[in-house]
C-alpha cells in the first residue's frame, strides 16, 4: 500500500470505520511508515479532543415550564391538525359522492332508455342533430311513425300515431 492510499483511508481507520481486511492492510503500512503513523496519531488525537470537549461542553436544556408548554403545544397543534385533516377529508369526499351519484343517474337513464325504447323502423335519414323526420303516409296506411335521431349520442326516439295522429301507446 502506498502512503497516498493509506492517507486517504486514515480518517476512517481512526474511528474504526473500515472493514477488517482493509484495516489490517493500512495498519501494516502505518507500522512501517513513521510519517503515516504520525498522521494517524494526529487524527486520533484530534478526534479524542473533540469528543472530550463535546462531553464537557455545557449544552442547552429545557426548563420545566418550557417543556410543559411545548408538550401542550404539540398535543393541541396535533389535534387541531388532525381536525383540519378530517374536515378537509370530508370536503374532498363530497365531489366523489357527487360524481358517483351522477354516474349512477346516467347509467339508470341509459338502462331506462333501452328498456322503454320502441323498435327502430328502418334506418332514419341522417340529417342535422335532433332533426325530426316525418314519414309520408299513403291514404290506406293506419299507422304513422316519427323518429328523432341524435347524431351526437345515437339515441333514437320513435313515436307511433294512428291516422288521426292520436298516440296509441302501442309499440311495434
59 belongs to the binding site for other proteins (CB under 8 A): yes
**Is the separation of the CB atoms in 147 and 121 below 8 Å?**
yes
Q: Which of 28, 32, 35, 46 binds other proteins (CB under 8 A)?
A: 46
Q: Which of 1, 3, 12, 158 binds other proteins (CB under 8 A)?
A: 12
Q: Which three cell numbers stand for residue 95?
A: 365531489
170 belongs to the binding site for other proteins (CB under 8 A): no
Nearest approach, Cβ of 16 to other proteins (angstroms)?
10
Continuous H helices in the chain: 3-14, 20-32, 34-56, 64-115
Nearer to other proteins, 8 or 87 (CB): 8
Q: Which residue has the cell 341522417?
A: 126
Query: Which burial class, exposed, middle or buried, applies to 27 when counting CB atoms under 10 A from its CB (0-12, 13-18, 19+)?
Result: middle
Q: Which of 5, 65, 66 has its CA nearest to residue 39? A: 5
Q: Which of 61, 136, 140, 166 binds other proteins (CB under 8 A)?
A: 61
Q: Which residues bind other proteins (CB under 8 A)?
A: 8-9, 11-12, 14-15, 17, 41-43, 45-47, 49-51, 53-54, 57, 59-62, 67, 70-71, 73-75, 77-79, 81
Amino acid at each position: 500500500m502506498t502512503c497516498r492510499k493509506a492517507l486517504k483511508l486514515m480518517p476512517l481507520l481512526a474511528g474504526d470505520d473500515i472493514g477488517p481486511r482493509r484495516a489490517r492492510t493500512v495498519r501494516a503500512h502505518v507500522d512501517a511508515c513513521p510519517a503515516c503513523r504520525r498522521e494517524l496519531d494526529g487524527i486520533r488525537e484530534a478526534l479524542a479532543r473533540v469528543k472530550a470537549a463535546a462531553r464537557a461542553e455545557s449544552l442547552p436544556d429545557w426548563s420545566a415550564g418550557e417543556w410543559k408548554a411545548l408538550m401542550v403545544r404539540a398535543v393541541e397543534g396535533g389535534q387541531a391538525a388532525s381536525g383540519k385533516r378530517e374536515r378537509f377529508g370530508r370536503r374532498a369526499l363530497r365531489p366523489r359522492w357527487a360524481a358517483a351519484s351522477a354516474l349512477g343517474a346516467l347509467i339508470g337513464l341509459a338502462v331506462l332508455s333501452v328498456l322503454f325504447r320502441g323498435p327502430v323502423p328502418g334506418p332514419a335519414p341522417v340529417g342535422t342533430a335532433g332533426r325530426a323526420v316525418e314519414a309520408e303516409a299513403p291514404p290506406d296506411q293506419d299507422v304513422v311513425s316519427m323518429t328523432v335521431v341524435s347524431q351526437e349520442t345515437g339515441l333514437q326516439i320513435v313515436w307511433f300515431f294512428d291516422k288521426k295522429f292520436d298516440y296509441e301507446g302501442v309499440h311495434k
